[in-house]
Structure 1
């Protein structure tokens, strides 16, 4: 909400019961003393404006601020009628005029010149009435001073309402920002969960499908021994996938940053992925060079997931093609490059049997975006599909 809207909401609000009660009490008191002291002593030309100003005051006290045009008419009636009747009533009728001037200045959405015009009109009407109904100079000055005090009080109230509107707008803006941050955090958490689920399912279940297809083919060929070996490998893969799923769930439940992972463990994890790829019938040449060192848990996990996703994509989109994976350690960075020859659908004789939604690559990129000094690229290069992951030393 902007400051203007907040100020408008304050100005347009229905008067409270306390405000109504005080204004109506003022109308009753002024009307009582006017009737008591001046009912039989003032001419009709004075009684009518006085009565009109009091009626307008009573109506303005209960009228919601959103009715700006009728309210302006009522306030103008209060200014003119009260100022005209003020001098012959010894200043008693000036009360509704000063109330109107105060309100004209006090409403933030009303232009400030409305209040200025109201104050000058009241001052002019007082001066004209003083010419018709002689009054001591001190009395006229006192009435004019009352109008000035009302104007200053209205300006002060206007500033207070503007500050209140600013506070309300800032509060609502802060709440909106907090809600947006909460929404962004929830979305990021959903993406993190989706990445973990995809990485586990794509690797483990994808490998199981390949193993079971091989078992079926071997059984049809009567090679029970080889089929048994494949079943055993499938069972090991399923157990590994279950353990990996449990680790992923534990990681999702724990918001604390993980401990640093030593370089040997990273190389071992990547080597296990390479062995699993070979067990699924793939060919891979994995090498690690350079001095190993510990890495933060998120960087190590990002490298492992990059290798996992690259091998999953190779089995899915380039089955049977050799894969080259290189992990290079330097004093300033750790880089992982995984490449395999591209296989076009036309080369296989049909369209891709397992079209993917590219969620794995998207998740890999998001994972490296979350790493403070990490980056990853994936795409075709000289006929090969190449994934390059880089983690800079912080």
Structure 2
């Protein structure tokens, strides 16, 4: 039996399709991701907290769901939209269907709409607030709810996804690690360094990278104070990805500013933005963000172009960049800053996701670069 569901945008646009996954009504910022694969990693990426994600690839779910390719305990996004939900899945690693997984975790999803039309609208108008519902099917009511729902600017979404206490990363020999070892990443080759990860909503493939290089990985909540981090005797501190607007996170700005010059720092995505803010820069909201596994980035040091995975709706404002920071990478689609480095301290960050998962491996070298900095002390 077909279940009707509707998506209403704050500009008055309404899309009617078929609901799958959980029943209910949710609100969020409607965005799109251009990846062809990796829907399970997208579902479980905490950086999507507060967002309704539209996949541009037309058929989603064809290889099912498994318990390995997750980036967090549970999905964090608000809702999920696809052109067509594949009701038949086929993969030797599959353990279940996409629809059953979404239902299990309470994620409301929508299929059967013209996602090309929706994506074009977002590209023209910018990311918009929306309501996705299987219960209220009245267009006027849904549009009004969308207009009155909260946006992302000024909200601290990190507190909704970061851990409540410090913990050690379990460096279990999972499938990913086994693959890295086969490629030559010997877990004991470089000795053991202590990497402290400030978790603002960290993807699990990041600590896997650190562990595969022989490091002890200590994960602490994103609001941990600088003196408490230094008591852990870190050889380096990682600043993780995470959701939403970086500017309201005053506690993170303060901690990072106090750590600069005292220990090597490496930031990814939100962590890169927070490092820049801690140095005195500003951030701004992009019109519709960068989300996908096919984003070209130029490494200004080598002149090489990397194809990268990205997921962010904010970026560092170049005109506000302080003298202590220099640009190391640029996004080739819109020329925005994709990486910075501190001119005096051992600190750098990138806007893209070198851990991939899913996505290309062009930027894996950044983990090796940080490892080299950590080893030198």
Is TM > 0.5 for Structure 1 vs Structure 2?
no
TM-score (normalizing by structure 2): 0.22
TM-score (normalizing by structure 1): 0.22
**Which has more radius of gyration?**
1
Structure with the bigger RCO (C-alpha within 8 Å, sep 6+) is 2
Bigger proportion of residues as helix: 1
Bigger proportion of residues as strand: 2
